[in-house]
Amino acid sequence: MKIALVSPYDWCVEGGVKTHIAHLAEYFREWGHEVVIFAPASDPEKVAGQCEVMGKPWSMRVNGSVARITFAWKSPEVKAVMAREAFDILHLHEPLMPLLPYHFLRYSNCVTIGTFHAAKEGGNRFYSYTKPITRPWFRKLDGKIAVAHAAANLVSRYFPGYFNIIPNGIDYEHFRQEREPLPEFMDGRPNILFVGRPEKRKGLKYLLRAFILIKEQVPDARLIVVGAGDFSRYERLIETKDDVVFRSYIPYDELPRYHRSASVFCAPNTGGESQGYVLLEAMASGMPVVASNIEGFAGVITDELEGLLVRPKDPKAIAAGIMRVLRTPGPSREMGKRGQAQAAHYSWDNVARRVMAYYERLMYEHQQVADSVAQRQALPAVSE
């Protein structure tokens, strides 16, 4: 099978959609399929050999984050590619994001699938404003995937239809396997771990406020903040630097050691999460987790079973959840084990197999329609 995977986002910037596409491509190639990735790139030389570069990206604020997408008019290039390559599957990720996916939709001559990743409880202004223009493009999709019910709920508000729920995956074995804790944190102090970017919707400021309340009850508690980005504006809020440790750009191979060094993981996100990679990675490590009760997280965790769900933007509720984990280590460990079992369903192997099965089903249906049309055309004309 020949497969085209298309990202609207800058391939030079790490993110959930890039991770998703890269893992699918890896598995599909292992299974003997030919895969080509198309994406814009701010530094084409940096990603040479990883993808076919289509356009230069520009920054655009979307869903509480900054997306780097291309507005380049690449119609002739896309038309030539689609005519030349004869793909069996065209798989667009965030197919309604400008502007690259629209070019591929325009010239698609094969089974075309769109995966919707974004989730936002309050709706999406971009979808709302562009609906009259984008509705015809949406109808060109033969198949539609949403990575979670939260993502399906968002897009279906504007474009009703059937969405096959196939989640984002995680590198389950990478986080499940035993790792040595970091010696610097193994001094007997209870460690609380946060992993995420320094963006408003990740909710770090609410965790910092909750940590003040926790310190009143557990004076030796420590918060470890790990993520990609500049946390300086948060560091300025901290009085005692020994109590809150900031680590930026930790190597991927080193990240599970932080999980092994902590007593509890906290995801205080305020919304806009379809699932939460970092939440699932923490669950895969077997950690007890305390997470905001937002739609995306509630689709992954059953409160009291695989983790604790607390009110978003509520430092007192966050602190109470973390304190409960710290004070009940036995039940919290059992909760972590159930979370680990739940996270196993999100391994990339499982996810890639489900996507491939969807490809095969759509190709079969597409062929059935083509055969039916051919049979009707072959029938002799009936004279009156």
Instruction: Please say if the pLDDT value at position 209 is more than 70.
Output: yes
Q: What pLDDT, on a 0 to 100 scale, did the predictor assign at position 64?
A: 55
Over pLDDT 90: what percentage of the chain? Answer: 76
What does the pLDDT read at residue 63?
Answer: 56
The residue among 375 and 331 whose pLDDT is bigger is 331
- Determine the length of the chain: 384
* d(C-alpha 84, C-alpha 307), whole Å: 50
Burial class (CB in 10 A: 0-12, 13-18, 19+), 174: middle
Residue 309 CA to residue 290 CA, distance in Å, equals 6
CB of 241 closer than 8 Å to CB of 353: no
* Residue predicted with more confidence, 238 or 94: 94
Confidence (pLDDT) at 73: 72
In this prediction, residue 65 carries a pLDDT of: 64
| Average pLDDT of the residues in 162-177 | 95
The residue whose two tokens read 């890639």 is 352
Over 80: is that where the pLDDT of 286 sits? yes
Please report, for residues 102, 103, 254, 275, 279, the alpha-carbon distance to residue 180 in angstroms, rounded to integers and kept in the order given: 47, 48, 10, 28, 21
**Domains, in order of start, for the chain:** 2-169+347-378 (3.40.50.2000), 172-345 (3.40.50.2000)
Give, for 247, the enclosing helix (H) or strand (E). Answer: strand 244-248
Q: Is the pLDDT score of 14 beyond 90?
A: no
What is the pLDDT of the chain when averaged over all its residues? 92
Strand runs (DSSP E) across 40-152, as ranges?
52-53, 57-62, 65-70, 89-93, 111-116, 143-146
How far is the C-alpha of 228 from the C-alpha of 103, rounded, in Å?
A: 32
| Residue 124 near residue 63, CB atoms below 8 Å | yes
What are the two backbone dihedrals, phi and then psi, of residue 267, each rounded to the nearest 5 degrees? -120, 90
Split at pLDDT 50, 70, 90, the class of 124 is: confident
What pLDDT shows up at residue 125? 83
Rounded CA-CA distance 65/271 in Å is 12
Question: Can you say how many angstroms the Cα of residue 202 is from the centroid of all Cα atoms in its chain?
Answer: 14
Give the pLDDT band of residue 165 (cuts 50, 70, 90): very high
Q: Average pLDDT, stretch 182-191?
A: 96
- Confidence check: pLDDT of 335 > 70: yes
Confidence of residue 382 (pLDDT cuts 50, 70, 90): low
What is the C-alpha to C-alpha distance for residues 127 and 323, in angstroms, rounded to an integer? 41
Look up the pTM and report it.
0.87
Which residues, in sequence order, are CB contacts of 201 under 8 Å at separation 6+?
63, 64, 65, 269, 270, 271, 272, 273
383, pLDDT greater than 70: no
